[in-house]
Amino acid sequence: MVRPLAHIDQALAAPGPGGNDFREGGELMESPAVAFVRSHLEAWSNHDLETARGNLADDVQFFSPAGHLVGIEEYMNGPRGLTQFATQVVPGSLRVIAAVGDARNALVMYEVDTEGGPIGSKTFPSAQTWVLDENGKIQVERIISYSVPHIV
């Protein structure tokens, strides 16, 4: 399903040459992968971890600076897995900043608010890429990060 992006000013959203946006009747639409990832983010950020689990391919891989998780159990329940982080997120705090994608790939920048736990209360920004498998499940998720050199 492709849904209109209500928050985008259609006059400012010129057609892209590379096909990263979807247009239906001249209206900018959200790609299938972006729509799926948004629903995944909504699920776990509102503590619906069973729905989040159902979005995963059996062989899902998660890459982050903190580690590499493989399989649904590690992704959900391993050290530094989704459950550990998601339970600290304030339900309803998800804010999607930007998103682009196609049928199977998505890049989403978002932030959530956290409380308690090891990271305490803060706004947690993230940019991640997702690849969906042939069944439309999350196969690969990568946190995009960088390090800033320490200047002395």
Identify whether 15 is part of a domain. no
Q: What is the pLDDT of residue 117?
A: 75
Identify whether 31 is part of a domain. yes
Q: Which parts of 51-148 are beta strand (E)?
A: 56-64, 67-70, 95-101, 105-114, 122-132, 138-143
Identify whether 40 is part of a domain. yes
Identify whether 92 is part of a domain. yes
Q: What is the pLDDT of residue 152?
A: 65
Identify whether 91 is part of a domain. yes
Instruction: Write the CATH number for 65.
Output: 3.10.450.50
Domains contained in the chain, number: 1
Contacts (Cβ under 8 Å, ≥6 apart) of 131: 104, 105, 138, 139, 140, 141
Q: What sign does the CA torsion over 116, 96, 84, 55 have?
A: positive
| Domain that includes residue 83, residue range | 24-143
Rounded CA gap, 102 and 76, in Å? 26
Paired tokens of 99: 């998103």
Rounded CA gap, 43 and 134, in Å? 21
Identify whether 83 is part of a domain. yes
Q: What is the pLDDT of residues 95-130, one digit of tens each?
A: 999 999 999 999 999 999 999 877 678 998 999 999
Identify whether 13 is part of a domain. no
Q: What is the pLDDT of residues 61-99, one digit of tens each?
A: 999 988 899 999 999 999 889 999 999 999 999 999 999
Query: What's the mean pLDDT in 21-41?
Result: 76
Burial of 50-73, coded b for 16+ CB within 10 Å and e otherwise, reads eebbebbbeebbbbeeeeebeebe
Identify whether 4 is part of a domain. no
